[in-house]
Structure 1
């Protein structure tokens, strides 16, 4: 099979297009013939810095966590009926050498989630880590539901920071599907159009000197939940717009920045700060997210493309380096690598 691999950390020059034997699934695993691979920030970071800044966990790594494809073989203990099933794949490269930047990948059966018949492979490859992160953030509220679905967030005002980003777009779509009133912050009129296309009721320019007043005008009682990509940079705004019993759900790291906030104000208003790292979530939370996301996709509530607020950028397998560079440079939308039909 054709695959992109790297055997040392570094820039895009460590990536190689090679031929490798088709891998065989082990117990509890499935083999997926990958049609489209999805690229995330964690993919180029793992390539450049290794596992948590340390050495690679394997002599050779196939990158990328997300994808869409078809199960073509199963290991011991997996229902043979899964062969031929369309799936969306996520977390493929977490502590494993078989990512989705290859014609075939091997993943635990639970990480190959059945893809509804009405959902395309490109949408399936665009779900993965970003949608799971958004799902977890939306469930972080102090009085929030246990899972998402129509009406689950009815009466809740959600502020999504960075509404034109990958997680932001998923949070807008999932939040709107669940009945929340969603406000998104953006940095340009072009990004405002994308956030509105995703389903946001309102957008606010976070660079404005009146950002707090603008948000308060839309949510006079404050926002119940803030899905935050840059908690350190935005903490001042957060403390002014959160409602009593409000929650900040932060999924962005901002490098080595440290978060400080006025403790008295936070305590006095019973605020909650929830930090989200998809890979280290409990397995039960991951499975719940996969189920809810699949339901939303089947209902047409979480989609991809310009009309859904998530422009798609396509690259062939041999240009995986360009695809990762595009993500690293902050391209707006979802970057996909086409593997095969």
Structure 2
């Protein structure tokens, strides 16, 4: 089978397409034929050495993917050959991720993909949608699970609504009944955020952003889904409702933030850090179940019509796909690994 591997840190040129033996699933494991694989910023950051030393001598990148069960190990009764699935954290504690034709994973890393959902959407779920779910479900006055009506009466501010996590947060929050405000940087991105379902779109280059948000939410927003705290945290503090949550899942724009203690603690706000690799198993499973329910309801999609343009690359061009994500491609980058049939 074909697999993409790297054995040293570096730019996308360290990625090679090689032939590897097919591994057999052990007890509690499932082998999946990957149809589509998602490429996320964490993939190139791991490859580039931004997360420290390589954990294994040879690594197949890719946390996210979607495909068909090819074989099951001893004791597995939750999946059968032919089942459609999507993956989560496939390459977290293992050397083999989704940028290969066949991957063996524990059953905990797999979730059934509903019949009506495409492999494209399945490969777009893991990192972005699970991150978004976590950001939306840790607030003191908010829900710990998402479902229709779970966020009724709540207002969510999504920073960067044209990004993959921002897009997922908008779609999931709207499905759960929230009012969604999002900030973007251009008219083109405003179109994408609106397509995702945001009712209120604020271009932070035009006028007073705090005033524009407060015009929609005079009492403040309940949850902020934040991608760039170094740039936005002061704004977030000015618009958060008492006991609200600012959920921070990335460090776009810089690592360092400065907080005014008096200005900050007067809100009773919660700062929630979101990194999937240390999220508990119960929260991950809850996210997988809720996201799948949104798929069944037809409330979550990908493609330009859902505010997330797709960029497809063959497996042999994984290096180009990594470079596209590293260069800030707007939308979702996917690898075409095997045929859907």
Deviations along 1:262-306, one digit per CA (max 9) or x if unpaired, are 211222221111010011100111011000011011111111000
| Corresponding residue to 1:263 among 257, 261, 269 | 261
Q: Give the secondary-structure state (helix, strand or coil) at the position aligned to 1:71.
A: strand
- 1:32 and 1:231 mapped to 2: Cα distance? 37
Match status 1:165 vs 2:187 = no
Distance 1:293 1:48, change over 3 A: same
1:245 is aligned to 243
Aligned-pair CA distance for 1:198: 0.3
- 1:80 and 1:240 mapped to 2: Cα distance? 47
2:285 is aligned to 287
Aligned-pair CA distance for 1:81: 4.9
2:190 is aligned to 192
Match status 1:34 vs 2:20 = no
Match status 1:105 vs 2:103 = yes
| Corresponding residue to 2:319 among 307, 318, 321 | 321
Deviations along 1:143-198, one digit per CA (max 9) or x if unpaired, are 11120000000000000000000000000000000000000100001000000000
2:138 is aligned to 140
Q: How many residues align?
A: 339
| Corresponding residue to 2:62 among 61, 64, 67 | 64
- 1:245 and 1:100 mapped to 2: Cα distance? 39
- 1:285 and 1:34 mapped to 2: Cα distance? 25
- 2:311 and 2:41 mapped to 1: Cα distance? 15
- 2:133 and 2:79 mapped to 1: Cα distance? 29
Q: Give the secondary-structure state (helix, strand or coil) at the position aligned to 1:212.
A: helix
Note the aligned Cα RMSD (angstroms).
1.2
Match status 1:22 vs 2:32 = no
CA contact (8 A) 2:228 2:254 kept: no
2:122 is aligned to 124
Q: Give structure 2 stretches of 5+ with no counterpart.
A: none
CA contact (8 A) 1:74 1:80 kept: no
TM-score (norm 1): 0.97
